[in-house]
Chains A and B, each alone.
Chain A
């Protein structure tokens, strides 16, 4: 059983397009996260939601908009994609607000051409 799943696994798109990445967790966790891993493998948090409420919103361009329709899902929508958005995006979840016991998804590799 997949604990944290992301779709799609790979996404290749052109500059200027709008795209979404979906994340779902079946662990019953209350908190979900989005991370960006850049080409140098640096992993940085972007957003987190607890019970559908935004609790972490790092310095991220407002072209990035997370949406949590329920606590099992956290989607990431990106408008007007730029070359610099190319990265691997990881979703994660944790039981509560304590971030340490996070379960990560497999990642979505986004390539903007």
Chain B
């Protein structure tokens, strides 16, 4: 069955430190994965998708089919990165979301 696992409920780092938000998936087909972000008092919004292979706000994510992972990375965390991050897998006409990881960037 398709599943998205985000093992960390909360990730706390200092400003300027590297960040890696983990995401693993379970899916028998060819996966299409995304990261969504929800900043405080804002709506959930798309951050990036693996197909576009782009860097958004300094974040990148590489699909690793061997490890079935799609970790979100940023080399130097900023305070404004503090938010809830969801990894999502496209399954047919719907998105299957992970449980989310709260990222707290401390000054």
By a beta-carbon cutoff of 8 Å, the part of chain B in contact with chain A is: 32, 34, 43-46, 49, 84, 86, 90, 93-97, 99-100, 102
Contacts and interface: CB of A to CB of B under 8 A. Distances in A.
B86 A48 contact: no
A100 B44 contact: no
A45 interface: yes
Please report whether the interface of chain B is mostly helix, strand, loop or mixed according to DSSP. Answer: strand
Contacts of A100: 32, 34, 46, 49, 90, 95
A90 B44 contact: yes
Size bin of chain A's contact surface: 20 to 34
Nearest to B102: A41
Interface of A: 4, 31, 33, 40-45, 48, 50, 55-56, 90, 92, 97-107
B99 A40 contact: yes
B46 A102 contact: yes
A48 B99 contact: no
A107 B93 CA distance: 21
B49 A48 contact: no
A43 B34 CA distance: 14
B99 A42 contact: yes
**Residue of A40, A45, A100 ringed by the most chain B CB atoms within 10 A:** A100
Contact of A42 (B34, B100, B102): B100
